[in-house]
């Protein structure tokens, strides 16, 4: 339970499952027409977060601004990419249809992002001369299912840890959310990231929270952003330590390249955070749409820097435990398959798991589909000398736990959860 000002307890302030259809809202104010600015956009810079979701600044995209100036709505059939500013600005116009998973999965971009990497991966596997399909099937059939169940359980322990860590960030931003609710919303968003590209699940997470709690969406997205930044920091730093320990006698060139890429990413993020913290407002006030962006930026910055210094040790411990579940999942997957002569050691398992996790940051395909599998197989074969068939078996089983099971169980939670009620109601409507 949280006692932050502006938040009542840890439960939702309105009907669970989102905002009901407009036709059922008594005396609801009319949504602004395209090209008009709602009253909330006139807030002075630095205004306090609103009591309910859906206020902020208009989208800072050239197309949106041009449409606003011309007073024109988007052309028929056009569905622009959803932005966090749009979610913050116009909750009446940005309805659940734009985040419908069923609708997104029917789009050509989503279909191609799944089909193309799968086809390429299968093509590569079957054309490698050292690949033995019969041996792969035999390894999967003779796997120790108890160890696989242990790998599964360890991986899923990570979700309550992630939910609690996000709750710590939200509380720092003045948003009181229960640990169960934060975990449920996060798990549904994880499922969304496994089936649609471009990390839409992160947008989905913020949207679901805004549908069920009176929160500022821009502050919410700030907490998600800093969570992802800390994850990348943790992956690179833990991966660097694991690689140093695993290759004490000499680090292969392939590993050095991976670590250099990771360090460059961390450096860019560090510079970005420093710039955001010290020069963000100075940059915003020099932009032509500063009046429209300032309110959104202030609340976003509030979410980004929501970690209290006293909470840093807890936050760091939770992050370490979360990524340890990824490594131990892989450890028990390898143990379950029982390949003789394969001994990566704990440090080696950490390095492979963290390198694979770093590849999921590439938002081209859902959950890094195709990219992560190729990365796991490549590291195991090139760096550790594992046979191509054994490496393929490890990658397939590990990803079955970390992606396929999330799609299945996340789909069940999505259907049963009251928090997705508004979106599911839209999906049940016939297409127009």
The upper half-sphere exposure of residue 350, i.e. CA atoms within 13 Å in the direction of its Cβ, equals 22
pLDDT score of 272: 87
CA distances from 336 to 145, 296, 342, 378 (A): 7, 49, 12, 21
pLDDT at 402 over 90: yes
Query: Distance (Å, rounded) from C-alpha 377 to C-alpha 124?
Result: 11
pLDDT at 122 over 70: yes
pLDDT score of 188: 94
Three-class DSSP labels, the chain: CCCCCCCCCCCCCCCCCCCCCHHHCCCCCCCCCCCCCCHHHHCCCCCCCCCCCCCCCCCCCHHHHHHHHHCCCCCCCCCCCCCHHHHHHCCCCCCHHHHCHHHHHCCHHHHHHHHHHHHHHHHHHHCCCCCCHHHHHHHHHCCCHHHHHHHHHHHHHHHHHHHHHHHHHHHHCCCCCCHHHHHHHHHHHHHHHHHCCCCHHHHHHHHHHHHHCCCCHHHHHHHHHHHHHHHHHHHHHHHHHHHHHHCCCCCCHHHHHHHHHHHHHHHHHHHHHHHHHHHHHHHHCCCCCHHHHHHHHHHHHHHHCCCCHHHHHHHHHHHHHHHHHHHHHHHHHHHHHCCCCCCCHHHHHHHHHHHHHHHCCCCCCHHHCCHHHHHHHHHHHHCCCCCHHHHHHHHHHHHHHHHHHHHHHHHHHHHHCHHHHHHHHHHHCCCC
Hunting for tokens 């309805």 — which residue is that?
A: 95
Q: What is the mean pLDDT of residues 71-87?
A: 39
Query: Distance (Å, rounded) from C-alpha 276 to C-alpha 297?
Result: 10
Lowest model confidence (mean pLDDT) among 80-89, 164-173, 185-194, 339-348: 80-89
The rounded percent of the chain whose pLDDT value lies above 90 is: 27
End-to-end CA distance of the chain: 43
Top pLDDT among 430 and 32 is at 430
pLDDT score of 152: 97
Is residue 67 within 8 Å of 51, Cβ to Cβ? no
pLDDT score of 52: 37
Q: Name, of 4-13, 20-29, 290-299, the range with top average pLDDT.
A: 290-299
Phi and psi for 369 in degrees, rounded to 5?
-55, 130
Q: Name, of 152-156, 235-239, 262-266, the range with top average pLDDT.
A: 152-156
Hunting for tokens 């499952």 — which residue is that?
A: 17
Q: What is the mean pLDDT of residues 112-119?
A: 72
Q: How does residue 425 score in pLDDT terms, banded at 50, 70 and 90? A: low
Q: How does residue 130 score in pLDDT terms, banded at 50, 70 and 90? A: low
Q: What rounded mean pLDDT belongs to the chain?
A: 75
The rounded percent of the chain whose pLDDT value lies above 70 is: 70
Is residue 326 within 8 Å of 304, Cβ to Cβ? no
pLDDT at 1 over 70: no
Helix axes 312-337 and 345-359, enclosed angle (nearest 10):
110
pLDDT score of 413: 94
pLDDT at 22 over 50: no
Cβ neighbours of residue 187 closer than 8 Å, sequence gap 6 or more: 159, 163, 406, 410, 413
Phi and psi for 38 in degrees, rounded to 5?
-70, 165
pLDDT at 252 over 60: yes
pLDDT tens-place string over residues 194-227: 888 777 888 889 888 988 888 888 888 899 999 9
Short-list 284, 297, 299, 296, CA closest to 89: 296
Is residue 344 within 8 Å of 378, Cβ to Cβ? no
Top pLDDT among 322 and 103 is at 322
Sign of the alpha-carbon torsion through 80, 84, 87, 88: negative
pLDDT at 63 over 90: no
Q: How does residue 32 score in pLDDT terms, banded at 50, 70 and 90? A: very low
Q: What is the mean pLDDT of residues 361-368?
A: 80
pLDDT at 104 over 70: no
Q: What is the mean pLDDT of residues 181-197?
A: 92
């Amino acid at each position: 339970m949280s006692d932050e000002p502006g938040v009542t307890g840890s439960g939702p302030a309105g009907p669970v499952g989102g905002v009901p259809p407009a036709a059922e809202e008594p005396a609801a104010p009319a949504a602004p027409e395209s090209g008009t600015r709602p009253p909330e956009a006139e807030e002075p810079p630095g205004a306090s977060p609103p009591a309910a979701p859906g206020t902020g600044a208009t989208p800072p995209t050239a197309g949106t601004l041009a449409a606003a100036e011309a007073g024109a709505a988007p052309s028929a059939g056009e569905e622009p990419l959803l932005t966090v500013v749009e979610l913050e600005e116009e909750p009446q116009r940005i309805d659940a249809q734009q985040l419908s998973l069923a609708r997104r999965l029917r789009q050509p971009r989503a279909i191609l992002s799944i089909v193309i990497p799968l086809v390429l991966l299968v093509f590569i596997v079957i054309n490698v001369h050292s690949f033995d399909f019969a041996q792969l099937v035999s390894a999967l059939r003779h796997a120790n299912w108890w160890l696989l169940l242990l790998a599964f359980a360890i991986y899923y322990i990570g979700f309550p840890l992630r939910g609690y860590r996000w709750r710590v960030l939200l509380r720092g931003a003045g948003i009181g959310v229960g640990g169960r609710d934060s975990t449920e919303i996060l798990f549904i968003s994880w499922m969304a990231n496994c089936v649609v590209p471009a990390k839409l699940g992160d947008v989905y997470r913020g949207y679901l929270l805004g549908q069920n709690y009176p929160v500022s969406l821009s502050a919410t997205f700030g907490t998600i952003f800093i969570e992802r930044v800390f994850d990348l920091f943790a992956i690179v730093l833990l991966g660097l330590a694991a690689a140093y320990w695993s290759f004490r006698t000499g680090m292969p060139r392939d590993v050095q390249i991976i670590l250099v890429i990771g360090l460059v990413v961390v450096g860019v993020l560090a510079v970005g955070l420093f710039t955001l913290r010290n020069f963000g407002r100075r940059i915003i006030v020099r932009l032509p749409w500063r009046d429209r962006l300032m309110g959104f930026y202030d609340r976003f910055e509030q979410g980004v820097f929501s970690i209290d210094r006293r909470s840093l040790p807890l936050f760091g411990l939770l992050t370490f435990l979360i990524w340890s579940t990824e490594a131990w999942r892989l450890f028990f997957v390898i143990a379950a398959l029982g390949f003789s002569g394969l001994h990566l050691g704990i440090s080696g398992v950490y390095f492979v798991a963290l390198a694979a996790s770093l590849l999921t940051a590439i938002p081209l395909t859902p959950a890094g589909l195709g990219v992560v599998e190729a990365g796991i197989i490549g590291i195991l074969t090139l760096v550790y000398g594992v046979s191509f068939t054994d490496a393929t078996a490890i990658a397939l089983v590990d990803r079955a736990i970390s992606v396929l099971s999330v799609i299945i169980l996340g789909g069940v939670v999505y259907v049963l959860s009251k928090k997705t009620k508004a979106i599911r109601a839209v999906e049940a409507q016939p297409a127009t």
